[in-house]
Amino acid sequence: MNYISTRGGMAPIGFQDAIMTGLAPDGGLLLPESLPNIEDKLGEWAKLSYTELAFEVIRLFATDVPDGDLKKLIDDSYATFNHPEVAPSVEVGDFQILELFHGPTLAFKDVALQFLGNLFGYILEQRGGRLNILGATSGDTGSAAIHGVRGKPNINIFIMHPEGRTSPLQEKQMTSVLDANVFNLAVDGSFDDCQNIMKTTFGDVAFKTEHALGSVNSVNWARVLAQTVYYFYSAFRAMEKTGAASVRFSVPTGNFGDILAGYLAQRMGLPISKLILATNENDILSRFFNSGVYGKAAAVPTISPSMDIQVASNFERYLYYKVGRDADQLVGLMNDFSAKGALSVELNENGVVDDLFVAGKGDTAATLATIKRYKDEHGYVLDPHTAVGVWVAENFPSADAPTICLATAHPAKFTQAIIDATGEAVHHPTLDALADAETRCDAIANDVELVKQYLVEHI
């Protein structure tokens, strides 16, 4: 399987190259040349364990990784999860809650980043060379990335976070990792400052090449690919349980990474009748699916911070399919967006962008009320991101197909919101153990040159 750019300006490359490249040189995102149709495999796949299924799905795309190696990569990646099913579903009220938070940092990003970390290690071992990952985080991504590559030979990871502006728990999840290849930088500035430092550093192509800098951001194809697996796995479980012939998914989203994986699973032939897209007050994506206009607005901080995103980095991949895989048309739309801060597509005969999607927004009040109601009525505590998805799903009920709500984080990660909603905290042993953990972190000024100097000294 080869990979092309959404913007049409790149000769096709193989899977391993696609993973190491991240972003296409023409500024586009990488996608497989074609999507395999798996309809005739569904019956067999429904019998597989999570890791067996991951192997069957991923091998269709990772055609330059030998089967035996891929199997080991997958087994290693999910052995770090503390649930035998990796991604179990539990029935809560009208919904199947798909728990994606049994990995080392208790958020769904582990599903992709445990795999990506191992894949990077594998590719470097094959090819020689090293990789120095530089990233900026406001919370979940940084810790999942750190836990994905900790202790791996040939890889260093440098993660910047805004000093004092990440939740204390999230900060500890990063700074308590003491492996020699992990560097936490507390930047005297905001998350935007951290991101600017990262962009400027990557923009210095000579520096980037000399120091083998790489990134783990959510546009890496391996992340999307690893996430498609739990759509298949949970759909099989829900169809077995209910006898239904199709399923619906509700996905709390920010960067459109998680829900894109569901969209691709549907395009491959998994019977998904609806994708319910749920945002918080940062609602660029839900506005798009309801109006056809994708327009930037100011970001507001919410109690579901991992979805506080103005520009969804994976949206371009959806748009590429939406315009019939026409790279020229896509480039035109992306140019509109950079020039005017908005792009628009025509609505279909039903007055929506795409019949597969419905979209809605859950604000802070709705999120807190949903957390409280699920605890009172079902004894189940939702994290604030998951609660947004559940609340939006309640507004689109269905009698025909079960609805699977993606639970993207363990509630114990967002203590304050849970206390505000229910009056009491929830605990998780992994997080409780951090209380007395030793930490390592270097403070640094908000200055690109100082960060570059730090990299050079520590690589």
Task: List, by residue number, the catalytic residues.
Answer: 109
User: Least distance (Å) from ligand PLP to the CB of residue 349?
Assistant: 29
User: Least distance (Å) from ligand PLP to the CB of residue 278?
Assistant: 10
Q: Is 307 in the site for ligand PLP (CB under 6 A)?
A: yes
Is residue 272 within 8 Å of residue 262, measured between CB atoms?
Answer: yes
Which of 188-196, 255-263, 359-367, 372-380 is the region at the interface with ligand PLP (rule: CB under 6 A)? 255-263
Burial letters 63-72, b for 16+ CB under 10 A, else e: eebeeeebbe
Site for ligand PLP in 368-387 (CB under 6 A): 385
| Residue whose CB is less far from ligand PLP, 81 or 122 | 81
Site for ligand PLP in 389-428 (CB under 6 A): 408-409
Among 305, 104, 101, residue whose Cα is nearest residue 191: 305
In DSSP notation, 284-326 reads HHHHHHHHSEEE-------SSGGG--SS-TTHHHHHHHHTTT-
Among 135, 252, 360, 402, binds ligand PLP (CB under 6 A): 252
Among 114, 173, 253, 370, binds ligand PLP (CB under 6 A): 253
Partnered with residue 33 across adjacent β-strands are none
User: Least distance (Å) from ligand PLP to the CB of residue 283?
Assistant: 13
Q: Sort strands 182-187 and 442-444 into parallel, antiparallel or unpaired.
A: parallel
Which of 3-11, 70-78, 256-264, 356-364 is the region at the interface with ligand PLP (rule: CB under 6 A)? 256-264
Is residue 76 within 8 Å of residue 118, measured between CB atoms?
Answer: yes
User: Least distance (Å) from ligand PLP to the CB of residue 223?
Assistant: 8
Q: How many residues bind ligand PLP (CB under 6 A)?
A: 16
| Residue whose CB is less far from ligand PLP, 220 or 253 | 253
Rounded distance, CA 222 to CA 129, Å? 20
Report DSSP state, residue 125.
H
Cross-sheet strand order for the sheet of 272-279: 89-92, 95-99, 403-407, 247-252, 272-279, 357-361
Rounded distance, CA 83 to CA 69, Å? 23
Among 201, 290, 306, 403, binds ligand PLP (CB under 6 A): 306
For residue 449, CA distances in Å to 142, 181, 184, 197, 198 come to: 22, 21, 17, 9, 11
Among 187, 146, 197, 141, residue whose Cα is nearest residue 164: 187
Q: Is 24 in the site for ligand PLP (CB under 6 A)?
A: no
Among 175, 255, 266, 367, binds ligand PLP (CB under 6 A): 255
How many C-beta atoms surround the C-beta of residue 13 within 10 A?
Answer: 17
Q: Is 250 in the site for ligand PLP (CB under 6 A)?
A: no
Rounded distance, CA 391 to CA 133, Å? 37
Which of 229-237, 253-261, 390-398, 448-456 is the region at the interface with ligand PLP (rule: CB under 6 A)? 253-261
Partnered with residue 407 across adjacent β-strands are 99
70-109 footprint of ligand PLP as x/- string (CB under 6 A)? -------------------------------------x-x
Among 162, 257, 360, 411, binds ligand PLP (CB under 6 A): 257
Q: Is 275 in the site for ligand PLP (CB under 6 A)?
A: no
Q: Is 337 in the site for ligand PLP (CB under 6 A)?
A: no
Q: Is 154 in the site for ligand PLP (CB under 6 A)?
A: no
Residues that bind ligand PLP (CB under 6 A): 107, 109, 140, 218, 252-258, 306-307, 385, 408-409
